[in-house]
Chains A and B, each alone.
Chain A
Amino acid sequence: MVHLTYFFAVYGSLINFIGINVLLALSLYVTLSAGQLSLGNAAFAGIGGYTAGILTTQFGVPYLLSLLAGALMAAIVGFLLGMPVLRLRGVFLAMATLSFGEVVRIAAINLKITGGAEGLLGMPAYTKTWFIYLVIAVVGYFLSRLRYSRAGWSFESIREDETAASAMGINTIYYKTLAFTIGAFIAGLAGAMYAHLNYIITPGEFGFSAAVNLLIYCIVGGSRVWYGPVFGAALLTALPEILRGIGVTAGPIRMFVNGLILLIVILFLPNGLISLFQRRRKVAVSVLAGAGIGDN
């Protein structure tokens, strides 16, 4: 028991950060599961975080209500953004969501209510570790149920072939917007919880590199099943500590290892590290699906 208390004193904040990153990765998983590459989820987390932080510090709103408000705000913005940008495909959607993210970041720097470049200060540390993992469990359960629902199958078919899905009578606009909005909601929730973890949030935390990190979590873990991003986020968030444990302290080497893992996964394990642990039959099927004949 003493050991456990010690372990938690040393790694408590790491465990919290893993939890937040897992939630953020799950938010991107929903969007990816419908085949939509969004780089806007970090910005949705920012919107949720700022909304919740402003509500608790300046209006005295209770914690749980502020979480809900942050998540809803992100979902509303996601819905409004999704309607026009989801007409774009592939890289163009990525760039549109990316520029949206930059506009959000710059707005947070320039607005008075968000505290400018110094960030928003003074959020009480309401977010507890058990609560983060409770939320992860609820979100994970929801996503695992979603996968085999009508919406989940629609996401899957849009991901495989949007034109074919549309020809089969699936309302692609509706389901793409739905995936995008659910993703924004989860991201906003994670951001709101993060705001009450750390005392301070700054615009830079929700920028381009944060968005890219989320994508890396999903790819490294595997974005075909909901626990893939969970695994990816946990592994990569803990990786600096793991490397330090085996004696690698230099920053550039840690960064290099990050990049190398990502490269190896995308080259050799297109369905992520999680596919190593799945049953062999499943792996074979998904590899076949991923290795269609190339044609532009």
Chain B
Amino acid sequence: MNLFLQQLVNGLFIGSVYGLFAVGYTLVFGVLDILNLAHPAVFTLGGLTALWLVETAGLTIFQAFPIAVLIAGLLGLLLDRVAFAPLRHRADTYFSGLISSIAMAIMFESVALGVFGAHTVRFPANTVTPTIWRFAGITVTSLQVEIVLVAFLLMVGLTQFLKHSRTGKAIRAVAENERMARLLGIHVDRIIAFTFFISSALGGAAGILFGLYFDAMSPDMGRSIELKGLAVIVLGGMGSIPGAIAGGLAFGLSEVLTVAITGTSNLRDAVAFAVLFAILLLRPSGILGRSRMREA
């Protein structure tokens, strides 16, 4: 029973990182109907930049975190300017946008590879000194709690921002109908650029938390979360922020529970993709998504 509870708690921690990653992924999709496959590469570069700031520039993780998040956000602006903005008015924009985001992902990954090398790197041992708490037979470290707190703070902050702020409302207006938003005097291109900034900043933050949690980062670490992130946003409903958060948690839990039940990690990802596949066929709008024709 304790082991089961422990697994649930672990699932919650990793699920919150998945959720944070997926929120940024789904935000861009919700606004532009474009799948940004460079998001995982920004995730990687965010984590590795924070590492560089801690290791080489000698900052603490609490200083490095906001700087790395900002840099990840700037990468988002770059993505928009180079890969998405030029294609925006093409008829096949969803298709060409997908391809150009793949191109950017390849280039980002090659930069990570060139700068950091192909090996696994980790934050120095004293970056965070976690306290370990045990109660009711469950072990929780302060690092894990901090990760969940940061992840949820960012996700709740984004939700509130989209709901109440003027810019947030503009983002939702562009998501609803780009042409109408333009007619209403919203500076659509600036709003889209800003959306990319937020999305990538959140992706970078997820990369840092991921690196701290697993204590291992490499230039291809984005690939391991890329497909999971897709599964999460489909599960939650493409473009739905609460759906991405719930999907992330559900995904984290399903992962640890599959391992706990089958006793091996071999089938961990199989469950996820089987679920993704089933949802696409049975309820393409996702669990929390609004229903509409699945036409991109």
Contact = CB atoms under 8 A, between A and B. Distances in A.
Interface string B86-112: 111111111110111011111101110
Contacts of B86: 267
A85 B281 contact: yes
Main secondary structure of the interface of B (DSSP, over half): helix
Which of B83, B93, B107 gathers most chain A CB within 10 Å?
A: B107
Interface string B109-125: 11101100010000000
Given A37-B95, A260-B103, A253 B281 contact: no
B266 A110 contact: yes
A216 B274 CA distance: 26
A283 to B, nearest CB: 16
B223 A216 contact: no
A106 B91 contact: no
Contacts of A294: 88-91, 93
Contacts of A102: 227, 269-270, 273
Given A106-B270, A106-B273, A90 B95 contact: yes
Contacts, number: 141
A131 to B, nearest CB: 32
A262 B110 CA distance: 14
A100 B281 CA distance: 12
A235 interface: no
Interface string A193-215: 00000000000000011001001
Nearest to A110: B266
Given A85-B281, A106-B269, A263-B82, A256 B107 contact: yes
Given A91-B94, A266-B99, A266-B100, A293 B280 contact: no
Contacts of A256: 106-107, 110-111, 114
B90 to A, nearest CB: 6
B265 to A, nearest CB: 11
A255 B106 contact: yes
Given A94-B98, A209-B223, A263 B270 contact: no
Nearest to B82: A263
A263 B90 contact: no
B294 interface: yes
A109 interface: yes
B281 A291 contact: no
Question: Chain A interface: which size bin?
Answer: 35 or more
Given A95-B280, A96-B277, A208-B227, A255 B89 contact: no
B91 A103 contact: no
Which of B90, B99, B230 gathers most chain A CB within 10 Å?
A: B99
Interface string B216-234: 0000000100110011001
Contacts of B227: 98-99, 102, 208
B179 interface: yes
B55 interface: no
Given A88-B281, A215-B102, A216-B99, 7 more contacts: A88-B284, A98-B227, A99-B227, A106-B266, A212-B102, A252-B110, A253-B110
Interface of B: 33, 35, 82-83, 86-96, 98-100, 102-107, 109-111, 113-114, 118, 178-179, 223, 226-227, 230-231, 234, 266-267, 269-270, 273-274, 276-277, 280-281, 284, 294-296
Interface of A: 37, 84-85, 88-92, 94-96, 98-100, 102-103, 106-107, 109-110, 208-209, 212, 215-216, 219, 250-253, 255-256, 258-260, 262-263, 266-267, 270, 290-296
